Amino acid sequence: MGEVDPAFIQDAEHRPKLYTIQAEEIPVIDLSPITNQAVSDPSSIEGLVKEIGRACKEWGFFQVINHGVPLSLRQNIYKASRLFFAQTLEEKRKVSRDETSPNGYYDTEHTKNVRDWKEVFDFHAKDPTFIPVTSDDHDDRVTHWTNQSPQYPPNFRGIIEEYVEEVEKLSFKLMELIALSLGLEAKRFEEFFIKDQTSFIRLNHYPPCPYPHLALGVGRHKDSGALTVLAQDEVGGLEVKRKADQEWVRVKPTPDAYIINVGDIIQVWSNDFYESVEHRVMVNPEKERFSIPFFFFPAHDTEVQPLEELTNEKNPPKYRPYKWGKFLVTRKSSNFKKKNVENIQIYHYKIA
Ligand SMILES: O=C(O)CCC(=O)C(=O)O
Ligand SMILES: [Fe+2]
């Protein structure tokens, strides 16, 4: 990543400002009411549910502390990630992803057709992960994706799996709180994930970049899944488009916190009551940055549509149903090349 390749250069209007607002006000929510004890009395978490609801509505983003994921597991995966990315490109390419298995290493992701200044390693939560063969709605064939197992660092796979188990538990808990905040039963969303979820974890490495005014670590985008549970390190760089005024604001790194954001699927399920918010990652001219998002995705056969309980005559469904697996396969295949067409988006299912 030495010379600036024009593929990395953002259009002028999307280039980052180098001095941005640090958003002190992004809500930090303490999950100890649900992590340190079993919830026997639902009224004991009423305050927490309200806080979650407000954060989802006003920001689409929040941070959680006292979340129950052991710090030691987070430290282990961070250490393993550093060791993995410090290898030569030749070593890393031994576990490159390809068109049949989108898991593994790659450094050529494009967001909105501009190349991201990063390299990643992707790993699915379930191995195998079941997925449609093609994006064609009439094709019912199902195939599966499997994970790659790099030789180095030792026990890489085990370290990732141990961590994923814990962030997955946290994701289920957060979905319960979100369900309650929408006036639904706590377990309303469970059925979509309990069998054959398609979630994956991504290890991101953003090398120092001499062109922080031109390039981005990840260009502006919204996350397409249900929920994202993100660990960022102390370097910082994540920016969120503040709903109140559409300004880009920086999410201040908080040690051992997770950054949570509502994805497109929750937007559809809630019929736009909660919205998936645009975000992007700035690069740093001196420091490398590591981050680890967990993308909580439902089973491929989930039909995503506004929930019946949240729609009525006055508030009719704003989206046509879509099959999650088909959406995912369409996205993945378009990620391999820089194309001049827009990726599939939820607004393509919007009822005018
Ligand atoms: O690295 C980050 O802080 C966020 C990355 C991100 O938004 C993504 O991978 O979807
Ligand atoms: Fe994202």
3-state SS assignment for residue 292: strand
Instruction: Give the Å distance between the CA of 45 and the centre of ligand 2.
Output: 29
Cβ(238) to ligand 1 under 6 A?
Answer: yes
Please name the residues in contact with 60: beta carbons below 8 A apart, sequence gap of 6 or more.
Answer: 240, 243, 261, 262, 274, 275, 276, 277
Atom index in ligand 1 nearest the CA of residue 206 equals 1
Instruction: Give the Å distance between the CA of 42 and the centre of ligand 2.
Output: 32
Instruction: Give the Å distance between the CA of 37 and the centre of ligand 1.
Output: 31
Please return the burial class of 54, using the count of CB atoms within 10 Å of its CB with bins 0-12, 13-18 and 19+.
Answer: middle
Residue nearest to atom 3 of ligand 1 (CA): 238
Q: What is the pLDDT of residues 132-185, one digit of tens each?
A: 999 999 999 999 999 999 999 999 999 999 999 999 999 999 999 999 999 999
Backbone CA torsion sign across 244, 249, 254, 258? positive
- Does position 99 have pLDDT exceeding 90, yes or no? no
Cβ(281) to ligand 1 under 6 A?
Answer: yes
Token pair in block for residue 90: 């030749």
The pair phi, psi for residue 77, each rounded to 5°, is -70, -35
Q: What is the pLDDT of residues 213-254, one digit of tens each?
A: 999 999 999 999 999 999 999 999 999 999 999 999 999 999
- Which CA distances in Å does 149 have to 29, 97, 199? 35, 12, 18
* pTM of the full structure: 0.94
Atom index in ligand 1 nearest the CA of residue 238 equals 3
Q: Which of 111, 116, 238 to mutate to test the pocket of ligand 1 (most atoms within 8 A of CB)?
A: 238
Atom index in ligand 1 nearest the CA of residue 204 equals 1
Q: What is residue 21's predicted lDDT score, i.e. its pLDDT?
A: 63
**Poorest-confidence range of 21-30, 42-51, 66-75?**
21-30
Give the torsion through C-alpha atoms of 278, 281, 282, 286, to 10 deg.
170
3-state SS assignment for residue 341: coil
Tell me what the pLDDT averaged over the chain comes to.
92
117 vs 115: CA distance, rounded Å: 7
Mean per-residue pLDDT, 81-92: 98
211 vs 205: CA distance, rounded Å: 16
Q: Which of 281, 283, 294 to mutate to test the pocket of ligand 1 (most atoms within 8 A of CB)?
A: 281
3-state SS assignment for residue 1: coil
Instruction: Give the Å distance between the CA of 23 and the centre of ligand 2.
Output: 17
117 vs 216: CA distance, rounded Å: 6
CA 264-270-276 angle, to 5 degrees, is 30
Token pair in block for residue 237: 């760089």
Cβ(291) to ligand 1 under 6 A?
Answer: yes
204 vs 107: CA distance, rounded Å: 10
CB 198 within 8 A of CB 299: yes
Cβ(232) to ligand 1 under 6 A?
Answer: yes
